[in-house]
């Protein structure tokens, strides 16, 4: 009997299907489940996971070749710690194995469908289902042959309802404001288009708990794989690298089939995730986007390099203190200044090679929850938005320069950006046209005089004086 067969024989039953089996969930959710399974004596009561990949077959193939067992390598200031993850039992590729995935999602043992499909995977426009999205248009026309993650959820829920099986709960683990409500709205709207009776059943029966997830997990590179081999002593083709820190806050609102005892392994089960989420999305993800975009403009390749640059680091401190923290609804008992100092330390962990270019991916989808929502709050409260506007101007500058250099822009709106760059004759016309992209900027913001003029001024100044001068000016303005 091969080693792989022995491992598979002792695998727990699949009780969770995870959509979007990238490095993040393998270093985060599966690490929690691995610890939890270690506390459950009976194999049948443990939680096995089927992962679904919506992208390339590479992850599935690498994991399948090693029986889905892989290493999660923690790298921190105190050294490395390798853990073997055995709770992943299967990985399927959506475009090749649709019926197997749907059958698994419809299986009565499955009580949770969790998701890390990134911001764009929700196919939404300002929180509402994007009916013009080609995958959504496809799924409405072919509900039993879905391609989008919401389409898979609706199709498998229909199978469960028809078979008299209670629904799973949907657990979104992406960095979006109110991710559970957003997913519920998307799924309800899609089901409504397909079968109103199914939509009514989903509305009363299916739970969509909100979550806040936090762990820094860079994309795994060849040199990470080579390094992992030196630590574990054998070749793992699908390791994940992560920092020591992790935090999972989950709204305790699951359906009839219940949930794992996440709290037993350190997750916080709460009635209201909003304060945790606003603090994390704005303080961490907002400053990450700032370091990524403005860091790229000043030639920084990684977050640890960017945070050790005095101009960037002072700017981030300024942002936290004057523009981000005042906009946050802080969770009870948390000192937000301490929280930000802990972030600083996490960013400075040079064992984690977190590329600025990775964080700058899909920025059009990241700006609303990270930067634009705090701007709207600050404008309403009469607080400064200058530093936050510098990030937006920096992003526009980055897009234009990348397009002119012929670099690939990783963003679902890349084609629209290219057209805008080509069709506008000067800086102001370019900035105005970018602000008119209504899937990013709400009309209220796009026509707010002070917001618009701040961005135009920063944009001109980046071109004229360079990013360093802008960072210094933004930091000085407050003091
Ligand atoms: C990052 C996040 O890539 C990004 O946009 O800001 O992935 C970040 O590392 C995580 O949210 C940390 O929990």
Q: What is the pLDDT of residues 314-329, one digit of tens each?
A: 999 999 999 999 999 9
Check residue 477 and give its pLDDT. Answer: 78
Query: Would the CB of 243 count as within 6 Å of ligand 1?
Result: no
Distance 158 CA to ligand 1 centre (A): 33
Instruction: Write out pLDDT tens, residues 415-461.
Output: 999 999 999 999 999 999 999 999 999 999 999 999 999 999 999 99
* Domains of the chain, start order: 8-270 (3.40.50.720), 274-476 (1.10.1040.10)
User: Which pLDDT band, with edges at 50, 70 and 90, does 145 fall under?
Assistant: very high
Is residue 90 lining ligand 1, measured as CB closer than 6 Å?
no
Residues in the chain: 479
Cβ of 250 below 6 Å from ligand 1: no
Q: What is the pLDDT of residue 7?
A: 55
**Rounded CA gap, 211 and 213, in Å?**
6
Q: Is 359 in the pocket of ligand 1 (CB under 6 A)?
A: yes
Detail the DSSP E strand segments found in 135-289. 169-172, 211-214, 240-242, 247-251, 268-270
From atom 3 of ligand 1, which residue's Cα is the shortest distance away?
359
Average pLDDT over residues 132-160: 98
Q: Which pLDDT score, from 0 to 100, does residue 8 have?
A: 55
User: Quick check: CB of 175 below 6 Å from ligand 1?
Assistant: yes
Cα–Cα distance between 154 and 152 in angstroms, integer?
Answer: 6
State yes or no: pLDDT of 260 exceeds 50. yes
Structure tokens at 100: 């197997």
Assess contact for 148 and 211: CB atoms under 8 A: no
Tell me the average pLDDT of the chain.
96
pLDDT at 455: 98
3-state secondary structure (DSSP) of residue 205:
helix
pLDDT over threshold 80, residue 479? no
Centre of ligand 1 from the C-alpha of residue 304, in Å: 14
Mean pLDDT of 333-349: 98
Measured by CA distance, the residue closest to atom 9 of ligand 1 is 216
Whether the CB of 288 sits within 6 Å of ligand 1: yes
Let me know if 7 is exposed, middle or buried by CB neighbors in 10 A (0-12, 13-18, 19+).
middle
Q: In what order do the strands lie in the sheet with 268-270?
A: 211-214, 247-251, 268-270
- The pLDDT, as a whole number, for residue 10 is 80
What local confidence, expressed as pLDDT, does residue 1 receive? 38
Expressed in angstroms and rounded, the spacing between residue 468 Cα and the centre of ligand 1 is 24
Instruction: Report the pLDDT averaged over residues 394-409.
Output: 97
pLDDT > 70? residue 9: no
Q: What is the pLDDT of residues 265-307, one digit of tens each?
A: 999 999 999 999 999 999 999 999 999 999 999 999 999 999 9
Which CA distances in Å does 88 have to 257, 258, 285, 362, 364? 20, 20, 28, 28, 32
Q: Which of 214, 247, 285, 355 to mutate to test the pocket of ligand 1 (most atoms within 8 A of CB)?
A: 285
Tell me which DSSP letter residue 138 carries: H
**Please, which residues have CB within 8 angstroms of residue 234's CB and are 6 or more apart in sequence?**
none
Q: What is the pLDDT of residues 72-105, one digit of tens each?
A: 999 999 999 999 999 999 999 999 999 999 999 9
Please report, rounded to a whole number, the percentage of residues in the chain having pLDDT higher than 90.
Answer: 96
Task: Tell me the CA–centroid distance for residue 465 and ligand 1, in Å.
Answer: 30
Mutate to test the pocket of ligand 1, among 216, 290, 355, 363 (most ligand atoms within 8 A of CB): 216
């Amino acid at each position: 009997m091969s080693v792989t067969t022995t491992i598979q024989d002792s695998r727990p039953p699949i009780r969770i299907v995870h959509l979007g089996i990238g490095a993040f969930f393998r270093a985060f959710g599966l690490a929690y489940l691995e610890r939890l399974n270690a506390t459950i004596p009976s194999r049948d009561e443990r939680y096995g996971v089927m992962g679904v990949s919506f992208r390339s077959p590479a992850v599935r193939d690498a994991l399948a070749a090693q029986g889905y067992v892989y290493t999660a390598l923690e790298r921190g200031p105190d050294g490395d710690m390798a853990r073997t993850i055995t709770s992943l039992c299967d990985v399927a590729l959506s475009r090749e194995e649709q019926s197997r995935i749907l059958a698994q999602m419809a299986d009565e043992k499955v009580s949770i469908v969790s998701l890390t499909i990134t911001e764009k995977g929700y196919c939404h426009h300002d929180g509402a289902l994007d009916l013009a999205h080609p995958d959504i248009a496809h799924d409405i026309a072919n509900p039993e042959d879905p391609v989008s993650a919401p389409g898979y959820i609706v199709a498998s829920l229909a199978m469960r309802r028809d078979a008299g099986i209670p629904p799973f709960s949907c657990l979104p683990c992406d960095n979006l404001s109110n991710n559970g409500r957003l997913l519920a709205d998307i799924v309800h709207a899609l089901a409504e288009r397909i079968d109103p009776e199914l939509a009514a059943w989903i509305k009363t029966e299916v739970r969509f708990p909100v979550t806040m997830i936090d762990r820094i997990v860079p994309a795994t590179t060849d040199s990470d794989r080579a390094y992992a081999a030196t630590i574990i002593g054998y070749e793992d083709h699908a390791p994940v690298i992560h920092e020591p820190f992790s935090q999972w806050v989950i709204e305790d609102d699951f359906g009839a089939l219940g949930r794992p005892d996440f709290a037993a392994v350190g997750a916080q089960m709460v009635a209201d995730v909003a304060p945790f989420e606003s603090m994390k999305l704005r303080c961490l993800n907002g400053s990450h986007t700032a370091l990524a975009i403005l860091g790229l403009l000043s030639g920084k390749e990684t977050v640890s390099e960017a945070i050790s640059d005095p101009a960037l680091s002072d700017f981030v401190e300024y942002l936290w203190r004057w523009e981000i923290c005042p906009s946050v609804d802080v969770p009870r008992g948390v000192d937000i200044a301490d929280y930000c100092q802990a972030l600083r330390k996490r960013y400075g962990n040079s064992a984690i090679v977190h590329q600025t270019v990775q964080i700058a991916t899909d920025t059009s989808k990241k700006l609303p929850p990270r930067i634009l929502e705090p701007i709207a709050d600050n404008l309403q409260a009469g607080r400064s938005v200058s530093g936050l506007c510098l990030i937006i101007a920096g992003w526009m500058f980055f897009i234009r320069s990348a397009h002119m250099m012929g670099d690939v822009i990783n963003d679902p709106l890349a084609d629209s950006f290219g057209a805008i760059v080509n069709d506008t004759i000067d800086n102001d016309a370019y900035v105005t046209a970018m602000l008119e992209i209504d899937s990013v900027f709400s009309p209220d913001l796009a026509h707010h005089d002070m917001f618009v003029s701040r961005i135009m001024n920063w944009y001109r100044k980046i071109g004229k004086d360079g990013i360093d001068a802008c960072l210094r000016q933004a930091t000085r303005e407050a003091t």
